[in-house]
Amino acid sequence: MTTFLQDQPLTRLDGRPDRLGAHLGQVLLIVNVASACGLTPQYAGLQALHAARHPAGLQILAFPSNDFGGQEPGAPDEIAAFCSREYGVAFPLFEKTPVTGPARHPLFTALATALPRAQGGEGLRETLRRHGIEPNAEGELLWNFEKFVVGRDGRVLARFAPDVAPDDPALLACLDAALAAPAPPFVHPQSRALLDALAQMLPPVDWATATAQTVRATFGGPSAFAPGDEVAAIEDRSIPGPGGPLRLRLYRPLGEAPAAGWPVTVFCHGGGFVMGAPEGHDNVCRCLAQRAGTLVVSVDYRLAPEARFPAAVHDAMAALQWVHAQAGSIGGDAARIAVAGDSAGGNLAAVLALQAPGAGIALRHQLLFYPVTDAGCGFASYRHFADGYLLSAPMMQWFWRQYLPHAGAGDDPLASPLRAPDLHGLAPATLVLPGLDPLGDEGRAYARRLVEAGTPVTVHEWPGQIHGFASMLGALDAAQAALNQGADALRRAFG
């Protein structure tokens, strides 16, 4: 099986941009050029039969070939090569069949337009003659393609001879099976390109036998994405922590500090509780600091499995308490503190928000990018996005096995904030959730729990985006917009 390239640019007849990826989610029956004009009994039979049999979900696409007027050069073998190269499937020539009428489907128009001009600028008819294919007396072109059935996910499921009957049992069975399959999720073209690139770069990991050292070597290197905004200063501090010295990285925004001091955001980085450091989320912290006008204090908490739960929670809480007590010493305002984090760091930020009222800290906001909220890994999104979208279900389950000292520890609300019995009185929350994420449903469930407890909540859904997208500056345009959403939420909360 081969896969069509999503987001392959095409041109519609009205000149507006169209994309082959727009057809994903439909079953396609690509018919031969003789059928394209709608004048042959075969095409009429296809339309009538399948309109009645499959009233929705089936798109019959035709590839007309005539009436190029010498403006769009190409020949069947060149078209087949182009299709194979650009779309991952070839359309071989089978028979010479008259084609009449002016119809030209936009998909075929785009293919012909994209073909390189033949040497000497000859038109299509001249190119065809050079390849031994002659127009008939009326100037109609005499060539034809096979038929293909393409599934909802863009994969070619079957191919049929050009003269296959509309009611051919094999064709009907193939279409019925294709239409019964679920539609694939929408994947943004930039996300698709990034996933394809990462698939080439990252070696496969056996999550049944992986070690923390192997995973850190594979995924835990320096960020390959664009740097964040310019800030006034970045400095490291060391404070006493529960397990020894605890490093904090401070990001100071450009501009004049308010009279009461900058608001402060305590940030916890992602990495599955197993990998990562403040340096790996430098671009996110820079953007939040500058765009929200806040000091950002990024916590270099201890990692599992060397330091299992609740070590990271204790380190994050120590950092929050230090910021609350010492805000003035770093130019911050202890009355305006927020917490933020992504993925596993979103879990720690949510846990800080749970603990803050009991510690006498009135947080202004909790900003959670695709947070981990439950150790059970049982939500539907774990099945829907189990693999193929960077963070996989086996990967997340492996992270939990490294983090928890035993399976029962996942019931602790400090590990699974979704399981907290009472969420009343917590800071207002903003959640940023990508559409292609095993963690998506547990993030939504946590948002609902907060709303039920009376907490103001804003959820930003990002269809077509993958886990971790907000840090992927330079590769995904959505990263900038998502960071803007987070920064705006912090700025409003700080007042």
Catalytic residue from among 35, 191, 343, 416: 343
Q: Over range 281-304, report the average pLDDT.
A: 98
Q: Which residues of 197-220 are buried (b: 16+ CB within 10 A; e: fewer)?
A: eeeeeeeebebeebebeebeeebb
Most confidently modeled of 60-64, 102-106, 263-267? 263-267
Most confidently modeled of 89-103, 125-139, 184-198, 286-300? 286-300
Of the listed ranges 63-72, 135-144, 160-169, 268-277, the least confidently predicted one is 63-72
> 287 φ, ψ to 5°?
-65, -45
| pLDDT more than 70, % of the chain | 68
pLDDT at residue 77 tops 80: no
Q: Over range 450-456, report the average pLDDT.
A: 94
User: Given pLDDT bands bounded at 50, 70 and 90, which one contains residue 13?
Assistant: very low
pLDDT reported for residue 58 = 63
Higher per-residue confidence, 181 vs 55: 181
pLDDT reported for residue 178 = 78
Angle in degrees, CA 372, 319, 243, rounded to 5: 90
CATH class of 212-494: alpha beta
Q: Say whether 23 is catalytic.
A: no
Q: How far apart are CA 64 and CA 350, in angstroms?
A: 58
pLDDT reported for residue 224 = 86
pLDDT reported for residue 138 = 39
pLDDT reported for residue 487 = 98
pLDDT at residue 404 tops 80: yes
Higher per-residue confidence, 320 vs 122: 320
Angle in degrees, CA 461, 465, 468, rounded to 5: 95
Q: Over range 356-378, report the average pLDDT.
A: 98
pLDDT digits (tens, 9 = 90+) for 326-352: 999 999 999 999 999 999 999 999 999
Of the listed ranges 193-207, 259-273, 417-431, the least confidently predicted one is 193-207
Catalytic residue from among 333, 342, 437, 441: 437
pLDDT at residue 48 tops 80: no
pLDDT reported for residue 27 = 64
User: Given pLDDT bands bounded at 50, 70 and 90, which one contains residue 141?
Assistant: very low
Fold held by 9-182: Glutaredoxin (3.40.30)
pLDDT at residue 163 tops 60: yes
Query: According to CATH, where is 3.40.50.1820 located in the chain?
Result: 212-494
Phi-psi region of 74 (alpha: psi -120 to 50; beta: other; left: phi over 0): left
pLDDT reported for residue 490 = 98
Q: Say whether 343 is catalytic.
A: yes
Q: Over range 289-313, report the average pLDDT.
A: 98
Q: Say whether 437 is catalytic.
A: yes
pLDDT reported for residue 54 = 57
Q: Among 425, 283, 398, 297, which residue's Cα sits nearest to residue 344? A: 398
pTM, rounded to two decimals: 0.70
Q: How far apart are CA 134 and CA 125, in angstroms?
A: 8
Query: Which residues are bridge partners to 150 per DSSP?
Result: 28, 156
pLDDT at residue 80 tops 50: no
Q: Sheet containing 332-342: which strands, arranged edge to edge?
A: 233-241, 244-252, 295-299, 262-268, 332-342, 365-369, 429-436, 457-466
pLDDT reported for residue 46 = 54
pLDDT digits (tens, 9 = 90+) for 185-219: 878 889 989 999 999 999 999 999 999 999 999 99
pLDDT reported for residue 111 = 34
pLDDT reported for residue 57 = 59
pLDDT reported for residue 31 = 52
Catalytic residue from among 281, 314, 467, 471: 467
Higher per-residue confidence, 46 vs 15: 46
Residue 456 structure tokens:
């103001």
CB 334 within 8 A of CB 322: no
pLDDT reported for residue 169 = 87
CB 313 within 8 A of CB 419: no
Higher per-residue confidence, 4 vs 412: 412
Return mean pLDDT, the chain: 77
Residue 32 structure tokens:
């031969």
Q: Among 119, 22, 112, which residue's Cα sits nearest to residue 63? A: 112
| pLDDT more than 90, % of the chain | 58
CB 183 within 8 A of CB 152: yes
pLDDT reported for residue 4 = 24
Query: According to CATH, where is 3.40.30 located in the chain?
Result: 9-182
Q: How far apart are CA 165 and CA 175, in angstroms?
A: 13
Angle between helices 106-114 and 76-87 (to 10 degrees): 100
pLDDT at residue 489 tops 50: yes
**CA of residue 290 relative to chain centroid, distance:** 26
